[in-house]
Structure 1
Amino acid sequence: MQRAQKAEIIEALKEKADRASIAVVTDFKGLKVEELTILRSKLRESGVDYQVVKNTLARIAVTDGQHEVLKDSFKENCAVAFGYDDPVSCAKVLVEYAKGNKKFVLKTASLQGQLIDTDGLKNLSKLPSREELLAKTLGTMNAVPTNFVSLMANVIRGMLNVLNGVKDQKEAA
C-alpha cells in the first residue's frame, strides 16, 4: 500500500472516529465472509459503520481524538464499529451477535472518550434505546398535567354532586 493510500485511510478513519459517540474494537478471527456480511448489515440498519482496519493505521487515526483510549487495543485481527447517534443500539447489536457467534469477540470500547470493558458494553446493551428513553420521558411529562386536570375535574364533579344532593333534598321537602 502506498503512502498516499495510507494517509487517505487514516484521514477517513479519523473523521469517522471524531464523529462517533462510541467506538468498539472487536476480534473477528475465524469468522467467514458471510458471517461478517450479516453483522455489517445488522449494524448498518442501526446506523453503525463496521470496518476491518490495519492496526497501525487505526492507532494513528485515533491518536489525539476522543477515542484515544483505544489505541492500545489494536492488536491481532481487529475491526472497529463506529456508532454515531445511539451508542446503546450499537452495543445491543454487537453483544447480541457475540452471543450467537462464539468466534466473534468484543475487546473493548470507548464511549465519548471513556474506556469500557466487555462487561460495561454488555451492561450498556441492556439499557433502553434513545427513542425508548425519550418516549418514557415524554410520557412522564405528559402525565403530570393530565393528572392535575383529572384532579381538578374530580373536585368540580364532587362539588356538583353535593349541589345535586342539596337540590334533591329541597325538592323532596
Structure 2
Amino acid sequence: MEAQIEDSQLVKEYINGNERAIGVLIKRHNARLTGFIYSKVGDRELTEDIFQDTFMKVIRTLKRGAYSEEGKFLPWVMRIAHNLIIDHFRKNNRMPMFEGADSFNIFSLMGDERLNAEKQLIKDQIDSDLTRMIKELPQDQQEVLQMRIYKDMSFKEISDNTGVSINTALGRMRYALINLRKLVEANSIVLTN
C-alpha cells in the first residue's frame, strides 16, 4: 500500500500533520541516500550523522512550509545531503591537525591571523572573480542566477517575479551554470580556498 503512494503525496500528508508519512519517506530512500553519503565520506558513523542531519533539515524545511520542489523529493534530499557533506569537509579542512595524528592542534589555532587573512583574501578573490563572470552572462541568465543563489528564491518564485514559466526559469539557470563553468575553465580560475 505505502509503496504506491508518491513521494509528493507523502510530503503533503506530512505537512498536513501525518507524522507517519516522514517515516515512510525515510525508509523508502534510506538505502539510496546512505549509499550516496557513504560513497562521498567513506565512514559509516559519519554517514549516519550526515543522514540524520539531512532528515532533520528536511523536517525543519517541511514544517516551515518552505518546500517547493514539485515532485522532486529525492533530488532535493540528495542536494541537502551533498551540501552537508561539503560543509563537513570545509569545517574539518579548517582545523589544523598534529602531523601524523588524528587530534586537533589547538595551539596552531591561536594567534594565526595571518592564515585567516590569507584565506579571506582568497575568498574575496573568488567572490570577485565569480561576480565578474556572472556579469558576462546574458541578462536573463544573470537574473535567474542571482534570484536563485543570492536571494534563495524557489523556481516558482523566480517564475512569478520574471513572468516566465518554471521550465524557462530552470532552463535559464541550467544555461547560466553551463556558461559559468565555461568561463571558469577559460579563465583558469580555481574556485576553492
TM-score range, shorter chain: under 0.3
**Greater percentage in helix:** 2
Larger RCO of the pair (alpha carbons < 8 Å, separation 6+)? 1
**Greater percentage in strand:** 1
The TM-score normalised by the length of structure 2 is 0.25
